[in-house]
A and B are shown apart, each in its own frame.
Chain A
């Protein structure tokens, strides 16, 4: 690809959109760095697609600002925003060949026929579909169609590429393969990518940063690791990864579980509606003897043991807190021997893993 195109930063500020009483976008502000892979993650109806449509220009916000680089885009029609966009349905043109599909944006831009051909071929090579140019769309598999859609969205070297759940129609194996491929492709292209998904694992796999969207608001924007380890709200903690949660009392920046002080290295975010302790099953440690002084003691009696292939889920009944799940990698379980049903075991929750979040962000 030529070096003329350079990725652009995106600056969204105070974006609002209401459908009657429903706020689809509630004062959304977000800065996306040039060349970043940012994922909008949220459940359906959270407003993530509305936000993407606002970026694309298909939805006119009630207020706010969208800037690509130093250009204000809020009133710019979609075809003048210079975006590449990939749709969930692929949205390929079925009456054109693969090459004609990919060359469509070039044709609009008045690129000469021969240039159209070479650039379309090069884009198809990039998505590993070299030589597929003469095929018809209905001769392609789902994964191949997705690649054509990608090639079409990047052939004109846009500085920003938007993707609306592009992998959700693929089966699990292909989806996971395409995630890695898309990530590699992003590193090759010099483009800012805004990616929408409801699949938290996909978001964790691909993104530089993830913006968690809920009820038309952005709950938290963070790198995958920090988002996972230090969620700011119960919604984020619950939506990302596997967890169970227990209500705790917070006073003077210390949390208490059933009257016992919880040791935590993580800052406690403030909000409304009380706090919860979030326990990730794989972060708990099964101790052979007593739980060390430095950790939180969640010991209890083993209720059930479930073999899940790559790991073993041990269900532990805690005296006062109720049921707590612990995930033990299958290989480690084989070495150390699993506890048996009814056995009393020590469970340590280390301070760096002790996540305490408010029920709602304020």
Chain B
């Protein structure tokens, strides 16, 4: 009896602490949502009046729209490059000897470990020589480098749960390596690839440090413009944009989850 009681108290503690952590993690994010519907011309919480005017400002401003477009194009291109590249890299590492794999894994994870500001400075000075600063190409390349580790790590963990004999079986049955990879392996690590693609998308969309240095002018990303806007004039447009970004991110996450679930029902 005492033990059961003790366990109940432990469970209560866990619930309290867990809820508190969630609260502090999510609340600052959610607070921008009511703020974005404020009628006042400065950021206030709780808002005293309700209006859509800041959304209107956002969607009618050519600067904001251009930045949004840049960010979305950069994110889509980053996904388009990082996903196949990272997946193939993960596949290659999975197939190579343990010694090569462990060394290469460290190199591949590097962009996550190294402080982004260092990468940003490095990329900036390299791009200065190559003439890639303030270009979309430059942003996409830098974002791809940042996103690759996420794709590689998720796809590698997916491959770990996959019986690789299946691909060997397919090859022994007459499938070329590429055909076996495409028809047998990829369908079974699809969810990992989709998760990797999602992380690549978010990595690019959220990225601010590199964008601060490398993007600009016509090709300024939305995060860069938001940052500048925070410094110059603090109005609720930022909150409206943040709300839109949250909606886009959550929509993408739900999309990946739904695809994943339909796949699980299949099996």
Contacts and interface: CB of A to CB of B under 8 A. Distances in A.
Interface of A: 56-58, 77-79, 81-85, 87-89, 91-95, 104-105, 108-109, 138, 149, 152-153, 156, 162
SS class of chain B's interface: helix, strand, loop or mixed?
A: helix
A84 B172 contact: yes
B188 interface: yes
Interface string B224-267: 00000000000000000000000000000000000000000011
B120 to A, nearest CB: 42
B172 to A, nearest CB: 4
Given A89-B163, A108-B179, A95 B169 contact: no
Contacts of A94: 188, 267
A91 B267 contact: no
Contact of B165 (A91, A108, A138, A162): A91
Contact of B174 (A79, A89, A95): A79
Contacts of B170: 93, 104
A156 B173 contact: yes
A125 B157 CA distance: 38
Interface of B: 163, 165-166, 168-177, 179-180, 184, 187-188, 266-267
Contact of A91 (B168, B176, B177): B168
B188 A79 contact: no
Nearest to A155: B173
B168 A152 contact: no
B173 A108 contact: yes
A138 B267 contact: yes
Given A79-B175, A105-B174, A152-B173, 19 more contacts: A77-B176, A77-B177, A83-B172, A84-B172, A84-B173, A85-B172, A87-B165, A87-B168, A91-B165, A91-B166, A92-B166, A92-B169, A93-B166, A93-B170, A95-B187, A95-B266, A104-B170, A109-B174, A156-B174
Contacts of A138: 267
A79 B176 contact: yes
Contacts of B169: 85, 87, 91-92, 149, 152
B246 to A, nearest CB: 34
Contacts of B187: 95
A94 B169 CA distance: 13
A95 B188 contact: yes
A91 B180 CA distance: 13
13 contacts: A77-B171, A78-B172, A79-B171, A79-B174, A83-B172, A87-B169, A89-B165, A91-B165, A95-B188, A108-B175, A108-B179, A153-B173, A162-B172
Contacts of A104: 170, 173, 175
A111 B169 CA distance: 19
B110 to A, nearest CB: 28
Contacts of A153: 173
Contacts of B166: 91-93
Contacts of B267: 94-95, 138
A149 B174 CA distance: 15
Among B165, B173, B266, max chain A CB count under 10 A is at: B173
A149 B169 CA distance: 9
Contacts of B171: 58, 77-79
